[in-house]
Amino acid sequence: MRHLRKVGKWTLGLAGLLVALFLLAWVLLQRPAVQQWAVAKITTDLSRTWGAKVAIDKVNIRFFKTLALEGIYLEDQSQDTLLYADKLTASISLFSFFKQQLHVQGIGLSDAVCKVKRTSADSMYNFSFLLGQQDKTSTSNAAGTYWDIDLDQLNFNNVRFLLDDQLKDMQGVFLLDDLAIEVQDLDLVEQKVVVKEVSLSQSSGRLHTSQQKVDKQADVKSNREKESLLVWPNLPWEIEIQQVRLRNNRFIYQQTSTDSTAQTLVTDIQLEQCSAQLEAIRWHEKEGQLSLTHLSFVEKNGLELENLSGHVELSETGIQLEDWNLKTPNSHLGLAAKLDFPAAGMRWDNWQETRVEGKMTPTEIAVSEVEGIWPLISQWLRTDVEGTTIDLSGELGGTLGDLALKQARIGIGNRLSLDCLLYTSPSPRDRG
């Protein structure tokens, strides 16, 4: 019994010493000199690992549960700014060095700017060096055991992404005012992530692309050799997102095209009050699927989309569309279709060869709603667009370049009603 008491005293003493050491470490980390040393250690190690400058102004640890980094600066390998963030916080609920467990309740990034770019001479983006070449054993230590890492929540507030893709002539600005990601399961070893919900509200995005058509055969051939084959995403991770909610967002897409006669054509699409809900999003390797249960917006030309819904499955061989329904205040459209890509692979110059099979359920299109997008429709119909509708139904077949509406039924208001076969190409020779 005497030995048992001694063991108990030694155990209590050791536990007290460990607690005292933890408290001492926490107290020391509150001192500016110790924080400066910790910051220098972290930034030096990261800079050496990534081969790029990393700077952090301040580190604050609140009793080993909350870590706050302030004034975070990261350069790319061209010594240009990749990321600047005013604050990055992490709330830790469990950390066990001996059991190799880390449970992070939440990570928050606020007041940040991220500059993503790619030059015309490089196919890699400036953040690619952060990804490296890692395999499934990258989370293991020298002994072959693994860290069990869990993450519950990610939050982004007032985060701007600036895109400058010179290879694709694409520029963009995206402001994430309020983005929240709730993670259900994260497995770094099996490379699997399950996200319970993604919520984005009060945010905006603007994307601008440029296209220039030229007559020089050499330039056309060069472009085809550089970007001929569509590279289908091949993700080693198994990704599942159970629900995505978008509320009151704003998106702008602009395209400037210049043809061989130096005529400039501008496409300008602005979507206001954009809201959406997506479910059952899955992607693994080269296959994916999603269900869109709701999408609504108001376009600047006056087109109002009340709802768009449907299910889609994607792979490198084709796309399957099921139960797609579109509704505006005065129009509705129903569609189911299967698209098979060309056997040689989808290229920018052969997309018209994609085969299509499908069915268009009884559809009613209000001419007044599409007049803003197609101003010449009233002249083509030679009628007052107010109150005029186009009724369509039939089976889809052929290719995207020569699409046919078989067993078609067409009606234009009360003026015309007929059964026919419609082709998108203007003449039989074009179809041959």
Tens of pLDDT along 85-129? 999 888 877 665 566 667 788 889 999 999 999 888 877 888 888
End-to-end CA separation in angstroms for the chain = 100
**Res 306 pLDDT > 90:** yes
- pLDDT, residue 104, reads 81
Looking at per-residue confidence, does 145 or 113 come out higher? 113
- pLDDT, residue 397, reads 86
- pLDDT, residue 17, reads 45
- pLDDT, residue 351, reads 77
pLDDT band at 212, cuts 50/70/90?
low
- pLDDT, residue 143, reads 46
- pLDDT, residue 150, reads 77
Residue 368 token pair: 């007044």
CA 91 to chain centre: 26
**pTM over 0.85, yes/no:** no
Instruction: List Cα–Cα distances, 327 to 301, 313, 345, in angstroms.
Output: 17, 22, 34
User: CA torsion angle for 36, 42, 44, 45 (degrees, to 10)?
Assistant: 160
Distance CA 335, CA 320 (A): 11
Task: Convert the pLDDT of each residue in 18-41 to its tens digit.
Answer: 445 455 555 555 666 666 777 777
Question: What residues contact residue 262 under an 8 Å CB cut-off, 6+ apart?
Answer: none
Residue 175 token pair: 């402001």
**Res 84 pLDDT > 50:** yes
Across 119-123, 193-197, 302-306, least confident range: 119-123
Task: Convert the pLDDT of each residue in 350-394 to its tens digit.
Answer: 778 889 999 988 888 777 766 655 554 445 444 554 556 777 788
Q: What is the DSSP letter of 228?
A: -
Mean pLDDT of the chain: 76
Provide the β-strand partners of residue 94: 103
Report which of 202, 199, 219 is spatially closest to residue 211, judged by C-alpha positions. 219
Distance CA 311, CA 324 (A): 7
Mean pLDDT of 400-407: 79
Report which of 323, 320, 301, 293 is spatially closest to residue 377, judged by C-alpha positions. 301
Could you tell me if 332 and 293 are in contact, meaning their C-beta atoms sit under 8 angstroms apart?
A: no
Task: Convert the pLDDT of each residue in 224-275 to its tens digit.
Answer: 444 445 556 666 788 999 999 999 999 999 888 776 566 677 778 899 999 9
Instruction: List Cα–Cα distances, 432 to 351, 398, 422, 428, in angstroms.
Output: 17, 11, 15, 6
Distance CA 325, CA 338 (A): 15
Tell me the DSSP string of 107-134: EEEEEEEEEEEE-TT-SS-TTHHHH-S-
